[in-house]
Structure 1
Amino acid sequence: MRQPLAAAAARTYTNPVLAGNFPDPFVLKHGKRYYAFGTTGRGRTADGRIFTLLQSENLVDWRPLGGALTPPAGSEEFDFWAPEVVEHEGTFYMYYSRGGGAIGATVGHQLHVATSSKPEGPYTEIAALPVPDSQFTIDAHAFKDTDGQWYLFYARDFTDTNDGYYPGTGLVVDRLTSMTQLANAPRTVLRARHSWTIFEANRLMPLYDNRTFAQWHTMEGPFVRRHDGKYYCFFSGANFLTDRYGVDYCVAEHIMGPYVDSGSDAGARVLHSVPGHVRGPGHHSHTMSPDGRTEYLVYHAWNAAMTARELCIDPLAWTADGPRCLGPTYTPQPRPR
């Protein structure tokens, strides 16, 4: 009896695919290997670097490779968040934010870029990507359009209520004039207008002269996919500690927009919590299965004790109602092929 059970287990995976803390997972497929990068905050890996780094051949079995980013000089007091990596003309570019610790602190976050000649690094910081008039800018996502032009999507704070939007963190896109330089002609992709994306009510924000906002909303972690000629900007919304946190999307005909929000107050449509089983799934990336046929979301979700955001994967389906994750799952599933 044991032999058939073992054979069945070898053909399946069960989330999380990696136990332990691995927030904001980004997966880069390079050749036949996958490289996963995760947030370390202010912490360092055992080799003294920043951002946990893993490698896999199948998206299920992961082995540690240490850390990815060499700490910049004088950065000991800063948090490092949400690394993403792309390859351009033989160089690997890592985009991330670093700044003053806890959200709402008096020192904001700013985007930075580091480079390496290898996907596994180590990466060395080479430039900041300052965004004018923004003290809190996070979650950079580089996207290459069909004409070869690169763009950078990111999340930044908006404190106004213009046009009926909620104050909070929203999504923006700008053109990259080089891999280390923004055009500084950003366009707003999406701002909060649905109740489910609330981060906190009556939120005190030291970063903005200790103002208290009646409702502060959060949309973060943009990730863009071009599908059937349209641009889908996926994002995570709400407070990452809650069961409202999940993944939704907006759509545009052109990479710079305008983007259409077809969501509602009902909550995230692509990926959302399952009461009693999965809490706070989100801050995801997309990748293809080893055979190149199935698209997967790679995301984090809380463990039962709420002490770690663990690495999970599930397929994405493009349905008549829009993209939908076939999850989050918590029981055995067929392995990626």
Structure 2
Amino acid sequence: MPYSRRTFLQQATAGLASLALLNQAAARTAARTYTNPVYAGQFPDPFVLKHQGRYYAFGTTGQGRTPDGRIFTLLTSDNLVDWKPAGGALTPPAGAEGADFWAPEVVYHKDTFYMYYSMGGGAIGASVGHRLHVATSKTPQGPYTQAALLDVPASKFTIDAHPFQDTDGQWYLFYARDFIDSDNGYRPGTGLVVDRLLDMTRLAGESRTVMRARHDWTVFEKNRTMPLYGGQTFKEWHTLEGPFVRKRGNKYYCFYSGANFLTPRYGVDYCVADSVMGPYTDTGDGKGPRVLHAVEGHVRGPGHHSHVMSPNGKSEYLIYHAWNPEMTERQLCIDKLAWTAQGPRCQGPTYTPQPLP
């Protein structure tokens, strides 16, 4: 039978209908997925607070300021994936011109929001070091106002404050600080400590070491000269930073990022304790980060993370930064955390479409 115009039109119409259905299916699939980064702008050291069903993300600005003249970039979201800029979070403290501001974390306690961060001079605090501070606000988005210095007299370089409330209600502060000795087989560099908080703005001054460097993979730089320590040169300088604590069962898991954030070695590992003040045990084999690590050709420098629950409260997510391909921006990424028989493992870093949280 000859091929009729009607047959052609019927088949063309059917083809267009099928294509429309495929496009609709693709749109539905896309609507149920996300692809990292979830925020493509500069957003280092991301911390996410979930409050009354809404997410607030805070990121490092260094010496920079947000368009409204504040410190720490603020984003908001209802689903962990679609983020909207919301200005800056911290009102610049008096006399802080030219200072670096790093790694904000926010908690809510007794009708007040407390923001913990470090402030210091220079790109690495080489001349005046870094100190921990706390600021307060009555709303999660701020603006926050600096309230107190959380001084650690034994350290000239103290960063990455992480407040943690135990199940009995007591608050603790985990943070990173420098150690320049090599006692007991440890290596000089930035390590992790914990102290009890007398209240939300005062440390007890009873800090204990959580974890110090002892593995090759955590080296930041070899033959590093440190002006902060009288120009002393260290054969190897290591870095453990960005602590974040989760209690699961009767165990305390202190997650941290290790190595040089510019290198493929940078990633997230953890140590474990039976008590919040330790002692903490490193259960890894020392070959590299087990929770989150680079993917050659796709993801570089994933780390300095925080944890948050999904909108439905059923899944735990890591919020972290990773470099864009040009290594000009550290961008906001998310991936699900799994608690396996071998310990916590991130189901990432991913760079292809993933199911929505």
TM-score range, shorter chain: over 0.9
Alignment of 1:1-337 (within 5 A): 1-103=22-124, 105-336=126-357
Larger helix proportion, structure 1 or 2?
Answer: 2
SS of 1:79's equivalent in the other structure is strand
SS of 2:301's equivalent in the other structure is strand
Name which one, 1 or 2, has greater alpha-carbon Rg.
Answer: 2
Q: Separation in 1 of the partners of 2:30 and 2:39?
A: 16
Q: Separation in 2 of the partners of 1:5 and 1:73?
A: 53
Once the 2 structures are TM-superposed, how far is the Cα of residue 74 of structure 1 from its aligned partner?
Answer: 1.2
Code of the residue aligned with 1:149 in structure 2: it is Q
Q: Percent identity?
A: 74
Query: Does the Cα contact within 8 Å between 1:50 and 1:80 map onto a contact in 2?
Result: yes
List structure 1 segments (4+ residues) > 4 angstroms apart after TM superposition: none
Query: Does the Cα contact within 8 Å between 1:110 and 1:136 map onto a contact in 2?
Result: yes
State the Cα deviation string for residues 45-89 of structure 1 (Å, max 9, x = none).
000000000000000000011000000011111000000000010
Once the 2 structures are TM-superposed, how far is the Cα of residue 265 of structure 1 from its aligned partner?
Answer: 2.7
SS of 2:223's equivalent in the other structure is strand
Query: Does the Cα contact within 8 Å between 1:26 and 1:298 map onto a contact in 2?
Result: yes
SS of 2:108's equivalent in the other structure is strand
SS of 1:275's equivalent in the other structure is coil
Q: Which TM-score applies when normalising by structure 1? A: 0.99
Q: Separation in 2 of the partners of 1:219 and 1:155?
A: 7
SS of 2:321's equivalent in the other structure is strand
Query: Does the Cα contact within 8 Å between 1:54 and 1:63 map onto a contact in 2?
Result: yes
Query: Does the Cα contact within 8 Å between 1:104 and 1:205 map onto a contact in 2?
Result: no
Code of the residue aligned with 2:186 in structure 1: it is Y
Q: Separation in 2 of the partners of 1:131 and 1:263?
A: 29
Query: Does the Cα contact within 8 Å between 1:53 and 1:67 map onto a contact in 2?
Result: yes
Q: Separation in 1 of the partners of 2:292 and 2:286?
A: 15
Once the 2 structures are TM-superposed, how far is the Cα of residue 202 of structure 1 from its aligned partner?
Answer: 0.2
Q: Separation in 2 of the partners of 1:34 and 1:61?
A: 10
Q: Separation in 1 of the partners of 2:153 and 2:119?
A: 16
Q: Separation in 1 of the partners of 2:58 and 2:122?
A: 20
Once the 2 structures are TM-superposed, how far is the Cα of residue 328 of structure 1 from its aligned partner?
Answer: 0.2
Q: Separation in 2 of the partners of 1:185 and 1:16?
A: 39
Once the 2 structures are TM-superposed, how far is the Cα of residue 264 of structure 1 from its aligned partner?
Answer: 2.6
Name structure 1 gaps, 5 residues minimum: none
Code of the residue aligned with 2:335 in structure 1: it is D
Let me know the Cα RMSD of the aligned residues.
Answer: 0.6
Once the 2 structures are TM-superposed, how far is the Cα of residue 103 of structure 1 from its aligned partner?
Answer: 1.7
Once the 2 structures are TM-superposed, how far is the Cα of residue 132 of structure 1 from its aligned partner?
Answer: 1.6
State the Cα deviation string for residues 313-336 of structure 1 (Å, max 9, x = none).
000000000000000000000001
Code of the residue aligned with 2:347 in structure 1: it is L
| 50-59 vs 97-106, greater mean Cα deviation | 97-106
Once the 2 structures are TM-superposed, how far is the Cα of residue 104 of structure 1 from its aligned partner?
Answer: 5.6
SS of 1:107's equivalent in the other structure is coil
Code of the residue aligned with 1:155 in structure 2: it is A
SS of 2:24's equivalent in the other structure is helix
Q: Separation in 2 of the partners of 1:109 and 1:306?
A: 25
Q: Separation in 1 of the partners of 2:246 and 2:337?
A: 12
Code of the residue aligned with 1:143 in structure 2: it is F
Code of the residue aligned with 2:32 in structure 1: it is R
Q: Separation in 2 of the partners of 1:44 and 1:184?
A: 32
Other-structure match for 2:11? none
SS of 1:54's equivalent in the other structure is strand
Code of the residue aligned with 1:70 in structure 2: it is T
Q: Which TM-score applies when normalising by structure 2? A: 0.93
